[in-house]
Structure 1
Amino acid sequence: MNLNLKRITHRLGYALLAASTLLGTDRVALAQETPAPTATAAKAFKDERALGLLKAMSDTLAGAKTLDFKIRGIVPTPSPTGQYVSLFASSRVVMQRPDKLFVAARGDLFPSDVVYDGKTVTAIGVDRKFYAQREAAGGAVESLMQSELPGSDATRPFLDLLVADPYAFLTKDLYSAFWVGRSSVGGVKTDHLAFTAKGLDWEVWIGAKDKLPRLMVISYRGGDRQPTFTVEFSDWKLGAPVASQTFVASIPKGAVKLEFKQMDPVK
């Protein structure tokens, strides 16, 4: 599966990756005698129910003219010693199709705002009063996935769910798919789905009624370190009016302009 989740977590996702395992007690467990699918057997294990639910989620997201939601969680982040340490991250994401995006990233990671107005990408260091800005190629929000946005990963949105056809993107080169059962995330009844790709396992909890992603877990399989990222989505608003000012970059007075490559505070 060319899900590019490695790119999501390392290039797109630190600001948006969230971990809050708010699962309720009504989860329907897989029967113990059911063997877990493996990468070698996965191509023969594609549950149509799971794919259908993923498609419903994709259609719900793709059909909305505007999307407004929040993400929060704990992000495993490499330390100088090589150990992964947990940092808290939270973000608000606002998108207006086809070509406008606003991301406010807060928490322990680099607090920043990213604004894309269809022509220009602006990243603002909220606390440190500096910014970077450049002309973009223009076009749909997903075109941003073809090039780096400025700053640390904390400035990057969870773009892979915002493309025109998330289903096609998420299922490309998929090894396996199956429905795990019913669960409750933040008080919302969900369908729990699991998928496998080369070197990668990922799960998503989709609202049973609203068909929106509520939780996502991404686990890497390979190498000495195998971090797991968990994302919680909340406060979904689909199709709601968005003030045009949302997509106008508000640069603090006296802020210093930097080159994009200088925006990462750890470098």
Structure 2
Amino acid sequence: MASDLFKASGFGSGLRRRAAVGIGVLIGCTGLSSRAMAGEAEAMTLLKSMTRYMAAQQAISFRYDTDLEIITNDKQRLNLASSGTVSLARPGSIRATRSNGFINTESVFDGKTFTLLGKGRNVYMQVPINGSIETLVDELKDKYRRPLPAADLLLPQAYEELTDGVIDVKDLGSGVIGGVECDHLAFRKKDVDFQIWIAQGDRPFPCRYQITSKLISGSPQYTVQVSDWQTGAAAVGQDFSFVPPDGARKITFDDLKKMKDMGELPSHYQL
């Protein structure tokens, strides 16, 4: 069920604040349509500015916290929380860590080889992938069925991916995420809704990104929140070489698929 959320969310794919008014006013207000259209236009402009800023950064590092909501067969909502770090250098280098209490992994890509290290088991898997970060995202999603969460925000075509199939747009005004004042935008597609909080000012990075699947009963959500955003010379973790830890054992991708504690979910979450 959770893997369906990743696919539906676009990982396997990418109103200014107003006073509340009564239903009668909403129905009878002849100026509502033009104001809504103005809100849509501003939201699209803010989103495009964010994606252009992201694409222009040659070196990036940040910390993240994620929250994956899972709906059990008896309709109970559970949440799987993870934290990690990401550092990247365009066009083709990235290093990412992820820990959720059950899984502790590190992924490294140097433009030629993708490595996944399972720190708990002290095992690592390597596959050849030659190209850019965009190539890596596509191959992990399509060939290996291991999509990178929220990777669509990092791609050069992020704006096109995010807006493809959008049927409703809202500018919800300001919000504060981790002490950073943000523009809060909401978008609807046929299969998913998503919200994004974009830092105001000259560094419009995504502070929070939330995706709601409409194809799964209960409409579970996936949220990623970003902190410690750094770019250029201030970006940390810009070494993309991989040196196996002492005693680490190399395994194949088929071996990896058999390890339940190396998947997207711990075994006892697969309800």
Contact 1:89 1:109 in 2 (8 A): no
User: Distance between the aligned counterparts of 2:103 and 2:110, measured in 1?
Assistant: 22
Once the two structures are superposed, the pairs formed by residues 11-50 of structure 1 within 5 Å of their partners are 28=17, 31-33=20-22, 47-50=40-43
Q: Does 1:246 align with 2:246?
A: no
Q: Does 1:159 align with 2:151?
A: yes
Q: Deviations over 1:32-68 (max 9, x none)?
A: 4569xxxxxxxx9671100000011011101111111
Match in the other structure for 1:106:
99
Query: What do you get for the CA RMSD once the two structures are aligned?
Result: 3.2
Q: What is the CA distance between 1:31 and its match in structure 2?
A: 3.1
Q: Higher helix fraction: Structure 1 or Structure 2?
A: 2
Match in the other structure for 2:204:
211
Q: Deviations over 1:78-126 (max 9, x none)?
A: 6687754222201101110000010011122421000000000000001
User: Distance between the aligned counterparts of 1:54 and 1:188, measured in 2?
Assistant: 17
User: Distance between the aligned counterparts of 1:69 and 1:29, measured in 2?
Assistant: 33
TM-score by length of structure 2 reads: 0.77
- SS of 1:98's partner is coil
Instruction: Tell me the matched-pair count.
Output: 241
Aligned residue among 108, 116, 135 for 1:123: 116
**Sequence identity, in percent?**
28
TM-score by length of structure 1 reads: 0.78
User: Distance between the aligned counterparts of 1:220 and 1:87, measured in 2?
Assistant: 16
Contact 1:184 1:190 in 2 (8 A): yes
- SS of 1:59's partner is helix
By relative contact order (CA 8 Å, sep 6+), the higher-ranking structure is 1
Which consecutive unaligned segments of at least 5 residues does structure 1 have? 13-26, 36-43
Aligned residue among 183, 188, 213 for 1:191: 183
TM-aligned CA distance change 1:11 to 1:170, over 3 Å: closer
Q: Does 1:232 align with 2:225?
A: yes
TM-aligned CA distance change 1:233 to 1:8, over 3 Å: farther
TM-aligned CA distance change 1:5 to 1:226, over 3 Å: closer
Match in the other structure for 1:221:
214
Contact 2:166 2:188 in 1 (8 A): yes
- Counterpart of 1:189, as a letter, is E
User: Distance between the aligned counterparts of 2:250 and 2:19, measured in 1?
Assistant: 54
Match in the other structure for 1:24:
none
- SS of 1:181's partner is strand
Q: Does 1:70 align with 2:63?
A: yes
TM-aligned CA distance change 1:203 to 1:245, over 3 Å: closer
- Counterpart of 1:170, as a letter, is L
User: Distance between the aligned counterparts of 1:220 and 1:75, measured in 2?
Assistant: 11
- Counterpart of 1:140, as a letter, is S
Q: Deviations over 1:109-159 (max 9, x none)?
A: 4210000000000000011111100111x1110112222279895x83532
User: Distance between the aligned counterparts of 2:81 and 2:158, measured in 1?
Assistant: 27
TM-aligned CA distance change 1:133 to 1:80, over 3 Å: farther
Which consecutive unaligned segments of at least 5 residues does structure 2 have? 28-35, 264-271
Which one is further off, 125-134 or 215-224? 215-224
Q: Deviations over 1:138-183 (max 9, x none)?
A: 1110112222279895x83532111113112211222121201111
